[in-house]
Amino acid sequence: MSITDVPVIAIDGPTASGKGTVAHGVAQALGWHVLDSGALYRLTALASFLQKIPLDDEPALAQAARNLDVRFAAGEIFLEGQEVSAAIRQEEVGNRASRVAALPAVRQALLARQRAFRLAPGLVADGRDMGTVVFPDARLKVFLDAAVQARAQRRCKQLIEKGISANLDDLLRDMRERDARDASRSVAPLVPAQDATVLDSSDLSAEQTVQAILDLWDKVLRDNPRP
Ligand code: DC
């Protein structure tokens, strides 16, 4: 079995569209691996911040991305041996990640690392360019969208549940800025792949969204069975 025979479901979409929860739910239901590609950009942001690399030093940021010493283990993420799962979810890290992610050399540096997650029996890959750049041959591409208000409310609730203070208006403003930056950058902008199914989750629960994607996957298997 060659690596390109390992099926990929790509789930792309804007920040706080619920991709992470949904990707994990789909992966769990199918018994597949999961790639949280946003975590790699967040880790690059955190590592480069700790190394005091300025945001305009693209070669040094790409080097930091290439050299990331990271380990994903049972829901926890380690950077150079330190547990950083909560640290990388902070809004400041997300905002820096969005800036770092606009740099072509950084994206190139993370490409092979992302593709290495493609392991049997299958991969659910969550991000912005999974279906367009990283896994253009994904057998199912979903673009998970939700209204910005719904996304800001979800993010606000998540942060408060984690004991992190949050303000809805600030989140809405940051989210609009990030959406605009992610959608307008010259490399791998946030756009649905031509062959993606757009799914609006504004009025769906996480469970309903997972089920909708599993139904789409069943349809792929029915319409295009492979040995
Ligand atoms: O999904 P997230 O919020 O954890 O992603 C953090 C940032 O990383 C986001 O602002 C855009 C960037 N990103 C990207 O450019 N490409 C990806 N495949 C995933 C994330």
Cα separation of 89 and 39, whole Å?
Answer: 8
Q: Name which of 72-76, 85-89, 197-201 the model is least confident about.
A: 72-76
Domain membership of residue 145 (yes or no) is yes
- Say if 222 falls within a structural domain: no
User: Would you place residue 155 in the very low, low, confident or very high pLDDT band (cuts 50, 70, 90)?
Assistant: confident
Residue 34's pLDDT is 95
The per-type count for the chain, helices as H runs and strands as E runs, is: 8, 8
* pLDDT score for 168: 93
Q: 175 in ligand 1 pocket by Cβ < 6 Å?
A: no
Residue 110's domain is classified under what CATH number? 3.40.50.300
Q: Quick check: CB of 98 below 6 Å from ligand 1?
A: yes
Q: For residue 30, how far is its CA from the centre of ligand 1 (angstroms)?
A: 24
Q: Rounded to whole angstroms, how far apart are CA atoms 122 and 4?
A: 10
223 domain-assigned: no
Note whether residue 114 is domain-resident. yes
Give me the number of domains the chain comprises: 1
- Rounded to two decimals, the pTM is 0.90
At 4, is the pLDDT very low, low, confident or very high (cuts 50, 70, 90)? Answer: confident
**Nearest Cα residue to atom 6 of ligand 1:** 38
What domain range is 69 assigned to? Answer: 3-217
Q: What are phi and psi of 161, to 5 degrees?
A: -60, -30
Q: DSSP letters along 98-109, please?
A: HHHTT-HHHHHH
pLDDT per residue over 98-116, tens digit each? Answer: 899 999 999 999 999 999 9
23 near 17, Cβ under 8 Å?
no
In a domain, 153, yes or no: yes
198 vs 190, more confident: 198
Whether 227 is covered by a domain: the verdict is no
Residue 74 confidence (pLDDT): 79
Going by CA atoms, what residue is nearest to atom 12 of ligand 1? 98
The answer to the question of residue 224 being in a domain is no
- Structural domain contains residue 225: no
Which atom of ligand 1 lies nearest, measured to the CA of 19? 1
**What pLDDT was estimated at residue 227?**
59
pLDDT value of position 109: 97
pLDDT in tens, 168-184: 999 999 889 888 888 88
User: Span 212-216, mean pLDDT?
Assistant: 97
- At 43 the pLDDT is 97
Ligand 1 centre and the CA of 104: distance in Å?
Answer: 14
